[in-house]
């Protein structure tokens, strides 16, 4: 009997990996309730180069993404001098390897940016309509006769000698896992219901609006600062609240020391049930959007699973399981060719990470931080 894969959780990463596994000829069982209540909805930034560490040179992306991408000026701005200093440091480090640059005052005016500093993103970055692309991947998975899609959630799993032996769905059905099978847990922000990792859960509000007449248009495809963001996709515009959100769950106490600098940031200190509406209202004002675009029933929010180093956690768990989550603000990693290939090669390499993935360790390191703010 040939090797079989179970992919538990089929959001951005689960769907990308399942598609690749099918592409390599494996049989795949996917478990996800499909409603996506806990699924994250990315703004759309595929920020491969800008403000990323040098170790993350932009490489190929999964070619299937391309029809779902848009290119144009993408801008990050801030009035904080500290941000500008960090951006300059980053530019100095990447000298000659990026066309990202700080905008002049005149350019900021032309783009209607009111903050004192702004960086124009590297032209290799783009917007991806993650939701449509995910729907496309799910269609491919459903159409593949080697795929079994179970529309349910995992309630628990059994293991013996660090080998996963059984998966139990919410309806109480048990799925037997053979010795040679592999289980990939791609549960996103639900991972810590089953495993212990240092994760901070932050709820970020957003609203999709129709691109309407009266929308401030300054030739920017996407823009964000600490309090607001706007992303123009094909057929809809997504409004977000920048880096503002509500802490939904703190990490376990034993991981708190990794978050000391992070927890001091007031932008995550909001509390109360009206937070999404309040932050979105402020973003609307900040962006100068016409009030007619506001719809109470369109307020949405979802939870990001932030890690201390803002890098995904890739853990080859036990003998036959892999846990991947914590993409924080870099969900696009799930669709980078090198990442998917390294994961697959590692799984085929007797469940051992290939050197480049090993280089990501120690996964909780603090020195490879994102340079954003």
Ligand X SMILES: Cc1cc2nc3c(=O)[nH]c(=O)nc-3n(C[C@H](O)[C@H](O)[C@H](O)COP(=O)(O)OP(=O)(O)OC[C@H]3O[C@@H](n4cnc5c(N)ncnc54)[C@H](O)[C@@H]3O)c2cc1C
Rule CB under 6 A: which residues touch ligand X?
Answer: 8-14, 31-33, 36, 38-45, 153-154, 186-190, 204, 206, 302, 304, 325, 327, 329-332, 334
In the complex, least distance from residue 105 CB atom to ligand X, rounded to whole angstroms: 27
DSSP letters, 295-308, are -GGG-EEEEEEE-T
Nearer CB in complex with ligand X: 6/259: 6
- Looking up tokens 């959780």 gives 9
CA angle (16 as vertex; 333, 259 as ends), nearest 5:
40
Question: What backbone phi and psi angles, to 5 degrees, belong to 193?
Answer: -70, -20
- Using the Cα atoms of residue 67, residue 150, residue 188 and residue 315 in order, give the sign of their dihedral: negative
Here the tokens at position 226 are: 């600490």
In the complex, least distance from residue 104 CB atom to ligand X, rounded to whole angstroms: 26
**DSSP label at residue 262:** H
In the complex, least distance from residue 186 CB atom to ligand X, rounded to whole angstroms: 5
In the complex, least distance from residue 81 CB atom to ligand X, rounded to whole angstroms: 25
Nearer CB in complex with ligand X: 13/94: 13
In the complex, least distance from residue 224 CB atom to ligand X, rounded to whole angstroms: 9
- Cβ distance 30 to 10 under 8 Å? yes
- Looking up tokens 């603090």 gives 366
Here the tokens at position 246 are: 């509500």
Q: How far, in whole angstroms, is CA 275 from its chain's centroid?
A: 22
Nearer CB in complex with ligand X: 116/275: 275
Nearer CB in complex with ligand X: 50/83: 50
Here the tokens at position 24 are: 């390599």
In the complex, least distance from residue 96 CB atom to ligand X, rounded to whole angstroms: 26
- Cβ distance 311 to 330 under 8 Å? yes
Mark residue 74 as left, alpha or beta (left: phi above 0; alpha: psi -120 to 50; beta: remaining): beta
Nearer CB in complex with ligand X: 37/253: 37
Nearer CB in complex with ligand X: 213/328: 328
Question: What backbone phi and psi angles, to 5 degrees, belong to 10?
Answer: -125, 60
Nearer CB in complex with ligand X: 26/339: 339
- Cβ distance 171 to 159 under 8 Å? no
In the complex, least distance from residue 247 CB atom to ligand X, rounded to whole angstroms: 13
Radius of gyration of the chain (CA): 21
In the complex, least distance from residue 321 CB atom to ligand X, rounded to whole angstroms: 14
Residue number with the smallest Cβ distance to ligand X: 11
Q: How far apart are CA 91 and CA 98, in angstroms?
A: 8
Question: What Cα–Cα distance (Å) separates residue 113 from each residue in 37, 72, 106, 121, 214?
Answer: 35, 16, 10, 14, 17
Nearer CB in complex with ligand X: 107/363: 363
């Amino acid at each position: 009997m040939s090797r079989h894969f179970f992919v538990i959780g089929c959001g951005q990463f689960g769907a990308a990996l399942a598609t690749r596994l099918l592409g390599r000829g494996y049989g795949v069982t996917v478990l996800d309730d499909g409603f996506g209540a806990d699924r994250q909805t990315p703004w759309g930034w595929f920020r491969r180069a800008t403000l990323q560490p040098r170790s993350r040179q932009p490489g190929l992306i999964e070619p299937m993404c391309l029809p779902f991408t848009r290119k144009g000026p993408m801008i990050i701005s801030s009035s904080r001098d500290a941000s500008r200093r960090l951006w300059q440091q980053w530019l100095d480090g990447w000298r000659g390897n990026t066309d990202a640059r700080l905008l002049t005052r005149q350019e900021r005016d032309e783009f209607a940016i009111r903050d004192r500093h702004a960086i124009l993103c590297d032209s290799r970055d783009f917007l991806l309509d993650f939701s449509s692309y995910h729907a496309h991947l799910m269609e491919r998975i459903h159409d593949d006769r080697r795929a079994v899609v179970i529309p349910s959630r995992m309630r628990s799993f059994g293991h013996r000698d660090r080998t996963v032996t059984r998966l139990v769905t919410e309806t109480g059905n048990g799925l037997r896992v053979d010795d040679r099978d592999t289980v990939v847990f791609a549960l996103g922000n639900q991972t810590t219901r089953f495993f212990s990792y240092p994760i901070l859960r932050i709820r970020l509000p957003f609203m999709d609006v129709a691109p309407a007449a009266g929308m401030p248009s300054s030739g920017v495809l996407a823009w964000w600062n600490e309090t607001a963001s706007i992303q123009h996709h094909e057929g809809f515009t997504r409004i977000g609240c920048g880096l503002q959100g509500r802490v939904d769950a703190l990490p376990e106490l034993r991981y708190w020391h990794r978050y000391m600098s992070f927890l001091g940031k007031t932008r995550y200190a909001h509390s109360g049930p009206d937070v999404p509406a309040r932050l979105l209202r402020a973003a609307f004002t900040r962006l100068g959007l016409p009030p007619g675009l506001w719809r109470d029933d369109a307020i949405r929010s979802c939870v990001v699973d932030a890690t201390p180093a803002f890098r995904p956690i890739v853990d080859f768990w036990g003998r036959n399981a892999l846990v991947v989550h914590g993409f924080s603000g870099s969900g696009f990693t799930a669709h980078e060719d090198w990442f998917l290939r390294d994961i697959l090669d590692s799984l085929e390499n007797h469940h051992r990470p290939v050197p480049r993935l090993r280089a990501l360790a120690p996964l909780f390191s603090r020195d490879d931080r994102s340079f954003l703010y």
